[in-house]
Amino acid sequence: MKLITCCSFKGGAGKTTALMGLCSALAMEGKTIALFEADENRPLTRWKENAVTRNTWDSRCEVFTADDLPLLEKAYDEAEARKFDYALADTHGGSSELNNTIIASSNFLLVPTMLTPLDVDEALATYRYIIELLLSENLVIPTAILQQRVPIGRLTTSQRKVSDMLTALPLTKQPMFERDAFAAMKDRGMLHLSLRNARVDPGMRLMLRNLDAAMEDLRLLSRFMHEALGQ
């Protein structure tokens, strides 16, 4: 089982959205996914509840509470015993022993950020913290910055400057663009199943193009992750 972790010290950076999207991409590939919820606000639990009511939850996925070390260890052992292909961890804000354990146990680390100076400052602080932790533990774990809510059209001057700042760091090949489909995932459930439902519901026909484009973004993100893992 490969552990993939979305890290950010700042709330609202998009780490849960990135995790939900990556989960949908992996489920669409037929993988089984354990979701480790270390965020005490329980966004993944609410996501599942909303998805179940809309018939957009994939049974290959399961949420495990992991907001303290004993619960994390229990969740990991159970997911391993059930032979999940992947575990995706949603960390809580700030530094902690729990976050350090998740980071050090991961196979791939994703640091999401939006293109604002404040968000990028926080992403850089998170990235620096991760690198220092890995060096102290003598670990080498692939880590990448994921640009979130990137405008589909031209960037503003401020966004371009911020984006240029990130080019010195390892970036995913594909950002997550500013799409309604991503913003709505928390309420609508898993994106690949929302897309499946839209294909057979005439009332959702106008959403198909947006959903298809969002799903392609996620397929490219998943491909990048597989390459980073040497798969």
In sequence order, the 6+-apart residues with CB closer than 8 A to the CB of 184 are none
Q: How far is CA 119 from CA 10, 113, 140, 198, in A?
A: 8, 6, 25, 33
Split into its structural domains, the chain has a count of: 1
pTM: 0.91
What integer is the mean pLDDT of 174-182?
A: 91
174 pLDDT more than 90: no
pLDDT (tens digit per residue) in 83-116: 999 999 988 777 789 999 999 999 999 999 999 8
Asked if 123 contacts 131 with a C-beta cutoff of 8 angstroms, the reply is: no
**Which pLDDT value is given to residue 93?**
75
Mean pLDDT, range 22-29, rounded to an integer: 96
Tokens 């004993």, located at residue: 70
pLDDT tens figures, 27-76: 999 999 999 998 888 899 999 999 999 999 999 999 999 989 999 999 99
Which domain CATH number covers 64? Answer: 3.40.50.300
DSSP string, 128-172: HHHHHHHHHTT----EEEEEEEE-SSPPPHHHHHHHHHGGGS-B-
> Which band of pLDDT confidence, cut at 50, 70 and 90, is reported for residue 24?
very high
3-state SS class at 86: strand
Per-position b or e across 7-46, b if 16+ CB within 10 A of its CB: bbbbeebbbbbbbbbbbbbbbbeebbbbbbbbbeeebbee
Q: Is 9 a residue whose pLDDT tops 80?
A: no
- More reliable by pLDDT, 9 or 52: 52
Rounded to whole angstroms, the Cα distance separating 138 from 123 reads: 22
Task: Tell me what pLDDT residue 199 has.
Answer: 86
Q: Above 80 in pLDDT, residue 11?
A: no
- Does residue 113 sit in helix, strand or coil? strand
Q: What mean pLDDT is predicted for residues 167-189?
A: 91
Instruction: Give the list of residues 6+ apart from residue 153 with CB closer than 8 angstroms, or none.
Output: none
Print the domain residue range for 57: 2-228
Tell me which DSSP letter residue 38 carries: -
